[in-house]
Chains A and B, each alone.
Chain A
Amino acid sequence: MGTLRKLTAGIAAGVMALSLMAAQVSATTYVNYNYDDWGDPVPSQAGYTAERAVSGLDIGVGNLYEPADLFIDEDDLLYIADRKNNRIVVTDLDFNLVTIYDTFIYKGEETYLKEPQGIFIDDATGYMYICDALNDRVIKSDKEGNIDLIFTKPDSILYGAETTFNPFKVCVDGSGNVYVVVKSVNRGAVMYDENANFLGFYGANTVLATSEVIANAFWNLISTEEQRLRTMKSTPVSFSNFDIDGQFIYTVTESTTTTDDQVKKLNPRGDNVLDAIEMQGANFGDIAPAYYSIYTVENAMVDIDVSDTGTMTLLDVNHGRIHQFDKDGWRLFLMGGVGWQLGQFQSAAALETKYDKIYVADVRKNTITVFTRTVFGELVTEAAGKFSEAEYNESKAMWEEVLRYDGNYRRAYTGIGLSYLFDKNYAPAMENFKIALNQYYYNQAFEGWRNIILKENFTLIVIILVIAAGGYFAYRFYRKKHPKKKERGA
């Protein structure tokens, strides 16, 4: 009896331990997946888990009301543009309140924010730039709240007198140029110099040549002026948000009608450099909706954050999903979903990354959700970093560890294959590239493998060829002397 009881207790303890472990493993409220090489979703490990959702009450400033933008400066201070409360809340990364900005001093007079939509801190100068949306201005203020400059609607023919100015997002580059996303402008970001002089537009999206656009161009050729006024105009969709990383500006476009300019990485000339690594026009969001658009909504990217290592983190408002890519355009992780639970979003508006955390503001849940990298996420990020620096041998052991967690993680196979390739160990390299469906590297490994085979067996191949040729000629000689009976009669 005693043994039976012990046994039962043991089993019960085991089951409990297992269920606890299971709870730890699948601690997310959404399904973790990644995409395989065919673009089909496959189950994957969580790269990040939602740690907590912070409300305004947790910070101690009353409820947040539609937090529209986030920014983390180099002193690790988190700036929250609390839109409907007309204030900027500043906390540290543990959400201890540091200060609140709602009143600013301009030329000795007090002025107030009205629905701030965007916030940016220029780490080089320490000034903060705030898109004061309903006041139609962008203010540049120091950390004490003294306004240094005000950017208003450009007084230029280029901008147009009828176009309204409703600043949405702002960023500043290394040379002090200020870029402002204005919702009513579709020719790119409005660009100012450091003295608030209007310079022009930057990084406009292009009109995708769809069949509809081409047909319209044709009808415009033959229609009258009056008819032309009534047809739909083809205009590029303006991008909705951006982030800056050194000399590159990354833009995202929220529009669901085009995927061509979904994510762009612009150099100072305004050229999309993602073109060079063949990522232009690639689908950065969920892949499946591109094919099953009847059943699901399209992707709508509302924010992008670029880390110091070039990792791009994108926020898709329609699916409430966060997509992370490394600087070469390899997909790292996906997370999030639509819902009210922790880690899900109703209307995600902005995200920021710092160290191993992702901060996401939701304008309907009125919270900031914090995601923390898991052990798996840490491993992949580290391996990916080594991979990007072409340190393939160092990353090999890491990728093998990654595969122990998630055998579906396709990039690991390319990583392992490359380390074999650089060791001139061609056969296993080919095997791994084949699993990774990487034709380009497979071809290189195969070429090396073939050269080795040819070199090693050169004498054998020559001997076989000589024997074959000799045998053939000998046979022909013999047949000439002794023709077959059947053919002799012909």
Chain B
Amino acid sequence: MLDYNNPKFVGHVLAHPFEGFEDLRWKKKGSIRIAIAVVLLLFVAMVAQDRIYGFQFYVSYDKIFNIVPFIVQSIVLFLTWVVANWAMCTLFDGEGTMKKIFIFSAYAIIPYVACSLIGTILSNYFVQDEEVFLITLNAVGLAWSGLLVITSQKAVHQFSIKKTILLIILTLLAMIAILFLLVLLLTLFQQVVIFILSIYTEISYRIRV
């Protein structure tokens, strides 16, 4: 049973939300390559949603296109989730390693990524009256991924459902803390750079005189 290769296991996990991740953990069939591909696809889906979503549903601001917010919203956010989850699970005796958390979480968001990509493509073929299909598709993807996130956490850390939900909430709080510290760090480094630059400028003026 379950003698699938890595890509096939993805399908198994998605189709069996409750047992799939347990099987994945047991068979050790998670692939870091697929996980990275999923995160990159998340980024692609977000950019696509802003760029090529059907004009009848969404007007994108075409004057400026800045890629950085999309990177932050997809890749950086996902990595923060992984780090925060790993940091929190150590306090709760979770079994997951960083790599495992990365793989399991990436597998869990596949429905969301897929639905959002499919929705983006379909939005170019629907009129406004048919928007309900897109909304439904998006909702299904979101709900499915939400369920998978809970079960994947449960499987990767071998937690009870109560503990899993607590961990998820704490992970979200930890993410906020991490992002806050990142912003703080960035600003402080900026200050340091400015300080060094101004000293350099000052000295270079003195030397010239």
User: A residues near B, CB below 8 A?
Assistant: 38, 40, 434, 437, 439, 442-443, 446-447, 450, 486-487, 489-490
Contact = CB atoms under 8 A, between A and B. Distances in A.
A434 B57 CA distance: 12
Contact of A443 (B1, B3, B125, B128): B128
Interface residues of B, number: 13
Interface in B57-84: 57, 59, 61, 63
A410 to B, nearest CB: 13
Interface in B33-91: 55-57, 59, 61, 63
A99 B63 CA distance: 56
Nearest to A443: B56
Contact of A490 (B1, B61, B63, B125): B1
A450 B56 contact: no
B176 to A, nearest CB: 26
Most chain A CB inside 10 Å of its own CB: which residue of B5, B56, B57, B59: B56
21 contacts: A38-B61, A38-B63, A40-B63, A434-B55, A437-B59, A439-B55, A439-B56, A439-B128, A442-B55, A443-B128, A446-B55, A446-B56, A446-B127, A447-B127, A450-B125, A450-B127, A486-B3, A486-B5, A487-B3, A489-B3, A490-B2
A439 B57 CA distance: 7
A51 to B, nearest CB: 36
Contact of B59 (A439, A489, A490): A439
A420 to B, nearest CB: 16
Nearest to A437: B59
Contacts of A437: 59
Nearest to B61: A38
Most chain B CB inside 10 Å of its own CB: which residue of A38, A439, A450, A486: A439
A434 B58 CA distance: 11
A162 B207 CA distance: 79
A434 B2 CA distance: 51
B41 to A, nearest CB: 25
Interface in B114-130: 125, 127-128
B73 to A, nearest CB: 22
Nearest to A489: B3
A261 B61 CA distance: 29
Given A443-B128, A447-B127, A490 B56 contact: no
Given A38-B63, A439-B55, A443-B56, 18 more contacts: A38-B61, A434-B55, A437-B59, A439-B56, A442-B55, A443-B127, A443-B128, A446-B55, A446-B127, A447-B127, A450-B125, A450-B127, A486-B3, A487-B3, A489-B3, A490-B1, A490-B2, A490-B3
Contacts of B128: 439, 443
Interface in B1-32: 1-3, 5
A82 B63 CA distance: 49
B80 to A, nearest CB: 32
Contacts of A446: 55-56, 127
Interface in B162-202: none
A402 B91 CA distance: 69
A23 B56 CA distance: 43
Nearest to B2: A490
A76 B208 CA distance: 75
B49 to A, nearest CB: 16
B147 to A, nearest CB: 27
Contacts of A490: 1-3
Nearest to A445: B56
A439 B56 CA distance: 5
A137 B61 CA distance: 55
Contacts of A439: 55-57, 59, 128
Contacts of B5: 486
Contacts of A443: 56, 127-128
